[in-house]
Amino acid sequence: MNAAEIRELFPILGQRVHNYPLVYLDSAASAQKPIQVIEAVRQYYECDNANVHRGVHTLGIRATEAYEESRVAVAHFIGASSEREIVFTRGATTALNLVASSYAQTVCGEGDEIVLSEMEHHSNLIPWQQVAKATGAVLKYIPLQSDGTFSIEDVEKTVTNRTKVVTVSHVSNVLGIANPVKQMADIAHKKGAVLVVDGAQSAPHLKVDVRELDCDFYVISGHKMCAPTGIGVLYGRKALLEQMEPIEFGGEMMDHVGLQKATWKEAPWKFEGGTPIIAGAIGLRMAIRFLEQIGLDEIAEHDRQLTRYAEEQMREIDQLTIYGPSDGRVGLITFNLDQVHAHDVATVLDTYGVAIRSGHHCCQLLMRHLDVGSTARASFYLYNTEADVDQLLFALKKTKEYFKE
């Protein structure tokens, strides 16, 4: 793949910021959109805009076909057995909340266990705290090593016969490392628990096969993989989705409505009450097509090489601390310049056209474990080049000089 050519397909990247060419290194927060995705959404609104699963007129039929074709595309993209295992949501956060509220609150009781780690994004932490509060279940945390990672041996020690749910990020949004999801699935299933995987950071960068991973639930955030904002995916095993109850009620998710009660449609449609995110789903389908045409393996290798190049150069900068292990980073580096607050680093970098993330990254537990209040994060994607990294390094050195004065 040619990242410089791919970059030309992203209109937003052609601008200048503070008279410097924009270097966008915040894709872990939200990826930019290629012209193909922008045009697909525009085409829907200009030519096919209608509600789905309702009208029998031409626009309604075209919109419904496009929406359901998007479901098929997602199923193929992540290796699901059927499009019936794909639920469209507002994002990964909504998908995780759906699993927590609809599944976990019905299977967990007093003294049951939910196993997770302190590296989890708040979206994969707070919903489980709420389940524990509602059911009397106990949150158990897999012990972390000093670098923020955990061992599979500690997973085995933490999961017990009382464990009902094991939940983990596929790739950490702070450390950038991939967790041993398949091994965790084996451990969870041997104890009768299900495995929930937060794939928000992995799906944009890695080829995902949910059947190979053997997970029970997997969530995706569309806007991190070049799709529009406001669209996400919950993958769930068909048998589990069928036993779950919807948590939102309204139009088009019901089968029969009486004066006192109603019955629901089958999964996945029973979870998609009201007007769904039609344009978002269509944009997601085009984003998937775009990524598949380039090749997920090629994207993964590009991200690994660029991250490795950036880390090697950044380690040459005095008083710069990089968090997490070097091996296996997936598209991001989290760091601090000693004695300079991460927000100040990000602010100065912005004056050189470099956009990075700063703060706790919605991972306050991990920040406390690493003994820092906040960090800076540079994240890379298929449209980034070594020239972008070089501009980051230049801006970091200028930042050091600025705060020395």
Catalytic positions: 362
Report the alpha-carbon distance of residue 237 to residue 92 in Å, rounded: 17
Instruction: State the DSSP H helix or E strand holding residue 366, giving kind and residue range, or none if neither.
Output: helix 364-370
List, in order, residues 6 or more apart from 367 with CB less than 8 Å away: 174, 360, 361, 373, 374, 375
- Going by their DSSP bridges, the two strands 23-24 and 354-355 should be labelled as parallel
User: What are 296-301's contacts with CB under 8 Å, separation 24+?
Assistant: 296/205, 296/206, 296/207, 297/207, 298/1, 299/1, 299/204, 299/205, 299/382, 300/205, 300/206, 300/207, 300/330
Q: Phi and psi of 20, rounded to 5°?
A: -115, 150
Find the distance separating the first CA and the last CA of the chain, reported in whole Å.
42
The DSSP-derived string for 130-163 is: HHHHHH--EEEEEPP-TTS---HHHHHHH--TTE
List, in order, residues 6 or more apart from 212 with CB less than 8 Å away: 79, 182
- Residues comprising the chain, all counted: 405
140 CB neighbour count, 10 Å cutoff = 16
Cβ contact 222:203 at 8 Å: no
Cβ contact 324:175 at 8 Å: yes
171 CB neighbour count, 10 Å cutoff = 26
Nearest residue to 158 (alpha-carbon basis) of 117, 196, 215:
117
The alpha helices in 81-195, defined as continuous H runs, are 92-98, 105-107, 126-135, 152-158, 181-190
Can you read off the two tokens belonging to residue 376? 């800076």
